Amino acid sequence: MRLLPFMLESSLGVAAVLLVAALAHWWRWLLPAEIFLFLLIVVATALLGGFWQSAIVSLAAVAGLMLFPERPLGIGVPPDPAGFLILIALLAVALIVSRLSARVARHAREAELWGGQMHDLYEFTRQTLQMNLHMEPGAQLAELIHEIFALEAVALFDADLHRVYQAGYWIVDPQEMAQNVYYFESADDDPATGIGRRVVRLGSVPVGSLVVRGDTSPLTNNAIASLIAITFDRYRAFANESRMETERRTEQLRATVLDGLAHAYKTPLTAIRAAGTGLVEMGKLSPAQAELVGLINEQTEALNDLTTRLLQTARLDAGEVTVHAEPVSIGSMLEEVLLTLKDRLASMKIVLDLHDDNLIVQCDRQLVKMLLTQYIDNACKYSILGTTITIRVAVTKSEVIFSVHSFGPAIPAADRERIFERYYRSSKSSQEAAGTGIGLSVARRVAQVHGGHVWVTSDEQQGTTFFASIPVRREKGTVDESASE
């Protein structure tokens, strides 16, 4: 309490009371009128000063009544109990008015403070929307919070990057404090130190923490933490989008390069095949020469098959392949695939399980034939010599499911998704047989362009089964309903 304003306000109130008491005595006012004027002075003093000033004025009012006792019409000063009641009433009025005045003043100050903080929050929001999301947001946010809200110090923990960013002056290293707020989810405000702690959440998931030291309200700290969470989420989304765009461009470039290389290889391969065929037709080759020419032709065919796959893969990835759906007999298509691979399958036992030998579906014959060739060739390559390869075609109401089952090395669970990625080969399979890592990626793309998908199951005892589902429109009347599963 400031002494000089207190004495001045009290003195003015007492002087006003004594003046009213003197005027009431000289002009012979009625007692109720005098008390009413005293009440007004007490109220004014309570509004301008406070309770203690108005209490002193109330005592002065009762003293004024005692100082000038004579009143008109024989009405004198009220007896002592009545005077005491008047004093109590004046003090009660002084207390109520002073409390209401203090509350109004406090609310006004809070409104003014909150209005300033709302302006700061608006400015903080505006600047976060203009942030450079090519850079990590933590350092930028810490500097913005420190500058806009005029805080002493700021520490911000990004849990995803596991980094603490700080701005302003900290007496102690805030890194451990900021991380503890995140790990222990401790949010509070300490008026003694001016430190506010908040867990930064995106929905209900903690993504970081905020520690500030300065003059901010709890509501402002909550709002700042929410805006930080939104900025973190925007940064993550932008980073993912940029990464996806980079991957798309890389994939597009890779497909272009593959296409170019495959076309470049086709010309010399054609010449080599023609030369090998010519040598065979010329005859007069020794057994050793004939064996070498046969090896040349065999490897030329392998290279030609590889370049064809590369071309098809590049076109599938670039989206240049259009699905030409037509009625296809699954039975006859499988026979063609098996005929193509008859040399590879000579040492294997093949079981073909069709629900309907006359099954006809709408699909792209060449693409699906490529998928089945890859699956069966893959089974032949990795199967144990002399075991059975089972080829099944299951029909449901919405799709046709092809599966190729064989017995060989089990595929680890961690590799069962990745083996369909281009150039990826399982650590076990890469030791069993040579390969390029391209075939299964082509099979997946074939299923995808048809609107289907591929997957694999593998077990040491049960064997390995590759699946491909292709949702197609079947020709009416070509599928026996009893064959549906």
Q: Tens-digit pLDDT profile for the chain (485 aa)? A: 456 676 777 777 778 877 877 777 677 666 666 677 777 877 787 777 777 777 777 777 777 676 666 555 444 445 555 555 666 776 677 777 777 777 777 776 666 666 667 788 888 888 888 888 888 899 999 999 999 988 999 999 999 889 999 999 988 888 999 999 999 988 899 888 889 999 999 888 899 999 999 888 888 899 999 999 999 988 888 888 777 777 667 666 666 666 666 666 667 877 787 777 777 777 777 888 788 878 888 788 777 777 776 666 666 655 556 778 889 999 999 998 998 888 888 888 899 988 777 888 888 888 899 899 989 988 988 888 888 999 999 988 889 999 999 998 888 888 888 888 876 666 555 445 555 556 788 888 889 888 899 999 998 888 999 999 988 664 444 444 333 33
SS3 304: helix
Q: pTM to 2 decimals?
A: 0.43
Q: How many Å apart are CA 252 and CA 256, to the nearest integer?
A: 6
CATH code of 326-483, in short, is: 3.30.565.10
- pLDDT (0 to 100) of residue 376: 92
Q: Give me the phi and psi of 117, to 5 degrees please.
A: -70, -35
pLDDT of 156: 94
Distances (CA, A) of 347 to 39, 105, 312, 464: 117, 97, 29, 19
SS3 116: helix
According to CATH, where is 3.30.565.10 located in the chain? 326-483
* Ranges in the chain annotated CATH 3.30.450.40: 134-242
What is the CATH number assigned to the segment(s) 251-317?
1.10.287
d(CA 131, CA 2): 48
Instruction: Locate CATH 1.10.287 in the chain.
Output: 251-317
Contact of 30 with 71, CB cutoff 8 Å: yes
For 109, 149, 219, 228, 353, the CA distances from 121, given in Å and listed in that order, are: 18, 8, 11, 12, 69
The structural architecture, per CATH, of the domain 134-242 is 2-Layer Sandwich (3.30)
Q: What is the pLDDT of residue 70?
A: 54
b/e 384-401 (16+ beta carbons within 10 angstroms → b): eeeeebbbbbbbeeebbe
Dig out the tokens for 199 from the structure. 């867990």
d(CA 313, CA 320): 10
